[in-house]
Amino acid sequence: MGRAEDLRGIIEKPMAAYEKTFGCAVKAELAILDECFCRVDVCIDKDFPSSEASEGYDLSQFKLAGVICYWLRKLKPFSTGDAASHLLVNEIIAFLVGYYLVYGYQIKHDKGTPPKITGNYFYDLVKSYRYNAHSPHSSALIFESLCMERV
């Protein structure tokens, strides 16, 4: 079983959160979802080949969240019955997947409080994911900045 199979389960909680918040059913196109996670594997292997990784190196949760978020929002595997009312479904779920990865990591490793996000920030970020160019690296930086301690 590869990383793509391991990562498939991470979309369930964000999909459920979207469905609860917006009162609709979300459908995930499995073929597109498989392609997303295959591209996640390729992207991670390209950026972090095991031959170059230092001993004990483990991929950052921020980087993983950024790469997954990027491919989910780019390939758009999610849909609802009413596309006009749910234009941002892929961007919202992609962000929530990354957020839950980072949130879980913060809790598991006692790295401080999980990031808190205001409604305005969330909406602006999701709109930016929809209409602007974001790379896997910029997405990783967004997730990392959410967890930085405020001075």
Tell me: pLDDT of 1 over 50. no
CATH number for the domain running over 3-146? 1.20.120
Instruction: Considering only residues 56 and 38, tell me which one the structure prediction assigns the higher pLDDT.
Output: 38
60-87, pLDDT tens digit by residue? Answer: 888 889 999 999 999 999 999 877 678 8
**Predicted pLDDT at 60:** 80
Residue ranges of the domains in the chain? 3-146
CA distance 22 to 59: 33
CA distance 69 to 140: 9
Measured between its terminal Cα atoms, the distance across the chain in Å is: 43
Least confident of 8-17, 26-35, 103-112, 135-144: 103-112
Tell me: pLDDT of 41 over 90. no
CA distance 67 to 98: 9
H or E stretch covering 125: helix 119-131
Instruction: Considering only residues 47 and 71, tell me which one the structure prediction assigns the higher pLDDT.
Output: 71
Query: Average pLDDT of 116-139?
Result: 86
Query: Average pLDDT of 102-115?
Result: 67
Q: Tell me the pTM.
A: 0.82
3-state secondary structure 60-123: CHHHHHHHHHHHHHHHCCEECCCCCCCCCHHHHHHHHHHHHHHHHHHHHCCCCCCCCCCHHHHH
Query: Average pLDDT of 22-31?
Result: 91
Tell me: pLDDT of 151 over 70. no
SS3 call for 29: coil
